Chain A
C-alpha cells in the first residue's frame, strides 16, 4: 500500500519542508525536507553528527531556533508551542531514552498525557512488555538498557498518537532485545502506526522501513525505497561509514 507514488498518496501526515535549525550560532540543519505518509515507516540514516537527532528535535519544536515549514495532518506547526506539539498526535522516543529516575516504572508509563483516543490500554501494554509489568514499582532507571528502551516506547503507545519518532532505539542493546524491539515495531506498523525511525542498523531498519532518507552534514542527500537498499549499500557505507 505504501508503494504508490507520492503524487497519488495526497498530503503526507508529517510534512517537513526546507527546515533549518540552529544551536546558538551553529547552523545544524540545512533545508531539510521529508514526507511521512500515514501508515508508512521511514528511516533516517547518516553518520554521527549528521543532524538526525536535530531533525527529530526540530519536528518536536525542541530546537532553540528553527525555520521552515512543518505540517502535521495539514496543520502548520510553526506557531504551536512545545507543549501543544504532542497534541497534534506525535510522540517522541528520544535517543537518551529519557526515563525519569525519580519516577517508578508505572509513573513513567503514565506520565505522558493522552492526546487522542485510541491509545493502548495499560493492560495491553503490559501484555506486550511483560518485564515492565513485573517491575512496575521499581524506579525507572533501575531497569536494564533494553527495558528502559521498551518503557520509552511503551509510554508513547498509551497516548493515542498517530506518529512516533524513534531515535536509535537499538543503540547499545543486545541482539535478543533488538529482535524484540523489531517485533514490536513490526506489530505497530501492522496496526497502522506511522513511524519515523533514526537507525544506523540497516538490517534492523529494513524489516520495518518503507523508505530511507540519507543525511549528511545537516542536508538530506537522497531518499529511496527499501527495495533499493541492497543496490545502495556501497553508497550508504560511504556516507554513513559503518
Chain B
C-alpha cells in the first residue's frame, strides 16, 4: 500500500475529503458572516441558528408536506432569508446607530431564543434526513470511495461561493454593496436606498446559512444545536481570514477545513483545537486577519 509520511494513502485522502467537506461548510458560513459584517458591521451571532433553521425548514417541509430535498434546497434558504429580513427591518436596524456591541448582543440573544425554542419543541436529539435518491451510493475513484452526496456538497459549495463572489465583485448590485460598505451616506445621497440594501444583505447572509443548513441535513442530521456546535469554529475561521473580506472568508474556510482534516491524520489529539491555535497565531502576527484590512 502507498504510504505518505507513514500514513496509508487512502486514510490520508479520506481525511482530506472529510476536511474538504467540513471546509465547504466553513466557507459557506464564513462567507455569509463576512457579507453581513462588511456592510452592516454586525457580528451575526445568529448565524448558527439560521443554519439550523435552514436544516429544520428542509426537515419540516419533508415531514409535513412531502416536499423533498431539491425543492427544499431553494425554498428553505428563501424562508430563512425572509424571516431574517423581517427581523432586520423590525429589530436589528434600530441598533445601527448604537455601539456595534448591541448588534452582537441582539443576534446572540436571537440565537439563544431560536435554539431554545427548537430544543423545547423537538428535543435535543438529531432527526435523520435522507439524502436525495439520485445521490445515494458512491463512486470508486480508484484511490478511495467517494460518497456521491459528499462530492455533491463540495461542488455545490464551490459553485455557491463563486456565484456570491461574482455577485459582489462583478455586478451593479455588488458595486452598490461595496460602495455602501465604504461610505453609506454618500451612496444614499446618490439616490440608492441603502436601508433596503442592508436588509437584502442581511437576508443574503442568513439565506446562505440556511442553504448550508439544508446541505448539511443529510450529513450531520437535523438538530437544534447543530449550528452552535459549528459556529464557534466558523467565527475562528472569520477571524483568521479577516472580517469583511469576501474572498478571504471563502479561501480560509476551505483551507482550514483541509488543515483540520490533515491534523486528524498526523496528530489526531490536536484536531479539535488546531483552528483555534491558528487563530491565536494569526491574531498575534496579523490582528486584522490574513486578508483583512485594519479597520
Q: Does B108 contact A (CB under 8 A)?
A: no
Q: Which of B176, B186, B195 has the most CB of A within 10 A?
A: B186
**Main SS at interface, chain B:** helix
Pair B183/A98 contact, Cβ less than 8 Å: yes
Q: Given A82-B189, A86-B191, A110–B181 Cβ distance below 8 Å?
A: no
How far apart are the CA atoms of A100 and B175 in the complex, in Å?
10
Q: How large is the interface on B (under 10, 10 to 19, 20 to 34, 35 or more residues)?
A: 10 to 19
Q: Which of A205-227 contact B (CB under 8 A)?
A: none
Q: Does A94 contact B (CB under 8 A)?
A: yes
Cβ of A153 under 8 Å from chain B: no
Known A100-B183, A102-B182; judge A82-B188 contact (CB<8 A). yes
Contact with A along B167-203 (1 / 0, CB 8 A): 0000010011011011101111111111100000000
Instruction: Kindly provide the distance from the CB of B18 to the nearest chain A CB, expressed in whole angstroms.
Output: 36
Q: Mark A63-90, 1 if CB is under 8 A from B, else 0.
A: 0000000000000000000111111000
In the complex the two chains form, is B191's CB within 8 Å of A60's CB? no
Contact B183 A83 (CB under 8 A): no
A62 at the interface (CB under 8 A from B): yes
A113 within 8 A of B: yes
A100 to B179, CA, bound (A): 6
A interface secondary structure, majority: loop
Q: Are A111 and B189 in contact (CB under 8 A)?
A: no
Set of chain A residues within 8 Å of B182, measured between Cβ atoms? 100-102
Contact across chains for B175 and A62 when beta carbons are under 8 A apart = no
Q: How far is the CB of B248 from chain A (nearest CB, A)?
A: 13
Q: Given A102-B178, A103-B175, answer yes or no on A111-B185 (Cβ-Cβ < 8 Å).
A: no
B179→A60 contact, CB < 8 A: no
- Residues of chain B lying within 8 A (CB to CB) of residue A100: 178-179, 182-183
In angstroms, how far is the closest chain A Cβ from the Cβ of B174? Answer: 9
Q: Find the A residue at minimum CB distance from B190.
A: A112
Cβ contact within 8 Å between B189 and A92: yes
Please determine whether B175 and A87 come into contact, CB atoms closer than 8 angstroms. no
Inter-chain residue pair count (beta carbon < 8 A): 57
Contact B186 A98 (CB under 8 A): yes
Q: How big is chain A's contact interface, by range?
A: 20 to 34
The reply to whether A110 and B186 contact each other, CB–CB distance below 8 Å, is no
Judge whether A102 and B191 touch: CB under 8 Å: no
Q: How far, in angstroms, from A159 to B190 measured CA to CA in the complex?
A: 9
Q: Which of A62, A103, A110, A113 lies in contact with B185, CB distance below 8 A?
A: A62
B120-148 CB contact bits vs A (8 Å, 1 = yes)? 00000000000000000000000000000
The one of B175, B194, B195 in contact with A111, judged by C-beta atoms closer than 8 angstroms, is B175
Q: CA–CA, A87 to B185, complex, Å?
A: 15
Interface residues in B194-230 (C-beta closer than 8 Å to A): 194-195
What is the distance, in angstroms, from A143's C-beta to the closest C-beta of chain B? 15
Q: Which of B172, B178, B189 contacts A60 (CB 8 A)?
A: B189
Expressed in whole angstroms, the Cα–Cα distance for A61 and B176 within the complex equals 20
| Besides A82-B188, A98-B186, A102-B182, 19 other A-B contacts (C-beta < 8 A) | A83-B188, A83-B192, A83-B193, A83-B195, A84-B191, A87-B191, A91-B190, A92-B189, A98-B183, A101-B182, A103-B175, A103-B179, A111-B176, A111-B179, A112-B190, A112-B191, A113-B190, A115-B191, A159-B190
Residues of A within 8 A of B (CB): 60-62, 82-87, 91-92, 94, 98, 100-103, 107, 110-113, 115, 159
